[in-house]
Amino acid sequence: MGGKKALGVAVALSALVLLPTASASVSLLTDAFFLGGEKVYSSSEERALDQVIRSVAAKVGEVCFLTEHHRFSSGFSYLNQIQARGALESQGWTVEEVVPFSSSKGVGVWYAVRNKGWKREEVLVLLLEVSEGGRRGYLSLCQIQ
């Protein structure tokens, strides 16, 4: 196992110890392992999040081909943001912060790209935090090209 990948695994495992409830979700679009996240399966939540991420993509001239959503029940603390970014980078993604996450606005946007063999993959990442019924964060992924 490469040194960088081994370090990423060690950091992920050590972060598991810090989580009160060791939840995690795996992204099928990015292969990233999001500690503290859980995959969104509710069709009503998925529809609402799809609408938001597709709107953001359209504003920057992109179209979503596939979407995926992960819920963070504790919102987007700095630790959650660092972990999510690190999870993407550990899978070979180069992450660019397009709109820095602001807890006052409850939104942030990243652009991630990786070359996987001969194929270039691009993903728009939306960090969205809502306060209705408690603080929750959503990490939405949109595959673009």
108-130 per-position pLDDT tens digit: 999 999 998 889 999 999 999 98
Evaluate if residue 53 carries a pLDDT over 80: yes
10-33 per-position pLDDT tens digit: 444 444 444 444 588 999 999 999
What pTM was estimated for this model as a whole? 0.81
Question: SS3 of 20, please?
Answer: coil
HEC-encoded secondary structure of 46-83:
HHHHHHHHHHHHHHCCCCCCEEEEEEECCCCCHHHHHH
DSSP category for residue 104: T
Half-sphere exposure of 82 (CA within 13 A, CB side): 7
Lowest mean pLDDT across 21-30, 35-44, 98-107, 135-144: 21-30
pLDDT score for 71: 95
DSSP category for residue 131: -
Q: Quick one: what percent of the chain has pLDDT higher than 90?
A: 67
CA 103 to chain centre: 16
Mean pLDDT of 73-94: 93
With contact defined as beta carbons under 8 Å apart, do 34 and 8 qualify? no
User: What pLDDT band is residue 4 in, cutting at 50, 70 and 90?
Assistant: low
